[in-house]
Amino acid sequence: MSSIITHSAQETIELGKRLASKLRGGEVICLYGNLGAGKTTLIKGIAQGLGVKKIVTSPTFILINVYKVKRQMSNVKCLIHIDCYRIDSARDIENIGAAEYFGNPNSVVVIEWPERIKDILPKKRMEIHIAMKGEGKREISINF
Amino acid sequence: MEKYKKIILGIESSCDETSAAVVRVKCQMSNVKCFEILSNIVLSQIDIHKKYGGVVPEVAARSHIKNILPVIQGALDEACVSQKDIDAIAVTNGPGLITSLMVGAETAKTLAYLWQKPIVAVNHLKAHIYAAWLQEAKSYKLKAISFPVLALVVSGGHTELVFMKNEKSFKKIGQTLDDAAGEVFDKVAKILDLGYPGGPIISKYAESGNPQAFAFPRPIMDSKDFNFSFSGLKTSVLYKVQEIKRQEQKKFQVSSFKFQENIAASFQQSVVDVLVYKTIKATQQYKVKTLIMGGGVAANKLLRQTMKSEAEKNGVPCIIPEIRLCTDNAAPIAVAGYFGKPIPWQKIDVDPGLDISEN
């Protein structure tokens, strides 16, 4: 496990970019942290690092956003951004077909509020915890 | 005259409202179009979702299935029409929750096949703008909406500025970079433990609060583009609430005087300031002749008043549909169906992430 401190949203985005450079496709990344912790910010960085051109916005309303990845030299064809903030059971995520992306070698899946669907999370996953350490400051722990 | 008559059945189920409406085209001159609502039934699931603190997709889809046929029948009955009077069916095919969207779309397809009627797939975001055409009809002044138009669509899932050079062209010129305005209302209500849905509760608390009590940021208000950002504002509110709670614990105090009201008022003022400032700036830069605001957040009283008075100050006529036409309902879906092109029912497909520039 490694733990990194960031001091601004920009630094969190940079960390996301660095993380993206290590992704090869098939990863499922679970992102833990409270409201306002910076989960979407980190995902913005991951998306930028992967070469996603569209603006990454919060998927709270429609639960899942699929972004096309245009990066050569990599298997990753799409970034799947799932937000379980509003859902009640894992079945909701299965019903919208989101679970089908788990482990797909052509996609990277990032899940916000994964604790709400823990029953269906794949065993092989990356876990990232974001803790708020005062204004702007975040402790980001990554577990491979 | 008869040949101009067109009766459209609109069906909407993109989120947590099941709705059907019958709309009649009253006149369709080249520059003036006006519509009359014969019926508009909206069945809200808010009470069902309240206890979960938000829309639960599985529950939403199940209630849509249960309610959609009675709601459609109700709309036909109230309009005193039967299926043979309907000239076309319009249905939302996105954006929204996929499981909710599918209920409306599959029902509409079945009816189109059964009744042999043309069917139009409607982009929900465009419908929020087309609600303005219903407003015109109501004022009985047959005045054309002058183009170009700038529209702000502001709801639980979206915050977008759209430029329209005519009634069928939609160009997105700005959008939220993170959370939608309606979403932060919900989340701030959660931070303040006020319940769901956040919009009406926040504005109710705000009424007796002081909007200057806390200096929350106006995120990216001065940026050159027309994008919005509300995530940082949500975090600022959270920091402030945590700080107040910490102080209370230290001093063994009960809640500060009107603390929730003041936070709600100050937060709401921030959102309204940013939305109005950027929208008015866009009306100037794009030299539009009309401003339209639609979507669920357009039901917010302070936003309506501020937008209207600022637009007037700048000499831009501003149309904000009445509240029941801003929140999700099927009447604007029917109007959008009038402007849209019918396609074979087999080709109707839902798209949860549909963009306003598509379809």
Q: What share of chain A is helix, strand, coil (3-state, %, to 5)?
A: 30, 30, 45
Closest approach of A84 to chain B, Cα-based (Å): 10
DSSP A28: E
Q: Do B177 and A87 touch (CB under 8 A)?
A: no
pLDDT of residue A31: 97
Q: pLDDT tens digit string along B98-137?
A: 889 999 999 999 999 999 999 999 999 999 999 999 965 5
Residue A142 scores a pLDDT above 60: yes
Percent of chain A with pLDDT over 90: 68
| Whole-number Å distance between alpha carbons of A120 and A134 | 33
Q: Do A62 and B59 touch (CB under 8 A)?
A: no
pLDDT of residue B45: 84
A61: nearest CB among B52, B175, B180: B180
Cβ-Cβ contacts under 8 Å, A43 against chain B: none
A96: nearest CB among B15, B52, B99: B99
b (16+ CB within 10 A) / e for B118-132: bbbbbbbbbbbbbbb
| Residues of chain B predicted below pLDDT 70 | 1-5, 53, 135-142, 252-256, 359
The average pLDDT across A73-92 equals 86
Q: pLDDT tens digit string along A14-24?
A: 999 999 999 99
Classify strands B159-164 and B171-175 as parallel, antiparallel or unpaired: antiparallel
Instruction: Using a CB–CB cutoff of 8 Å, tell me whether B232 touches chain A.
Output: yes
| Residue A91: its H or E element | helix A90-95
pLDDT of residue B3: 43
Which of A6, A58, A132 would best serve as a mutation to test chain B binding (most B beta carbons within 10 A)? A58
| pLDDT tier, A63 (very low <50, low <70, confident <90, very high otherwise) | confident
Q: Do B180 and A58 touch (CB under 8 A)?
A: yes
Of the candidates B311, B273, B315, B278, the residue with the CA atom closest to the CA atom of residue B292: B311
Q: What are phi and psi of B5, to 5 degrees?
A: -65, 130
A116: left (phi over 0), alpha (psi -120 to 50) or beta: alpha
Of the candidates B11, B359, B357, the residue with the CA atom closest to the CA atom of residue B170: B357
Cβ-based interface (< 8 Å): residues of A facing B: 9, 34-36, 38, 40-41, 44, 55, 57-58, 60-66, 85-89, 91-92, 95-97, 135
Residue that the structure tokens 């039934």 belong to: B41
Instruction: Using a CB–CB cutoff of 8 Å, tell me whether B48 touches chain A.
Output: no
Least confident of A89-93, A94-98, B27-31, B98-102: B27-31
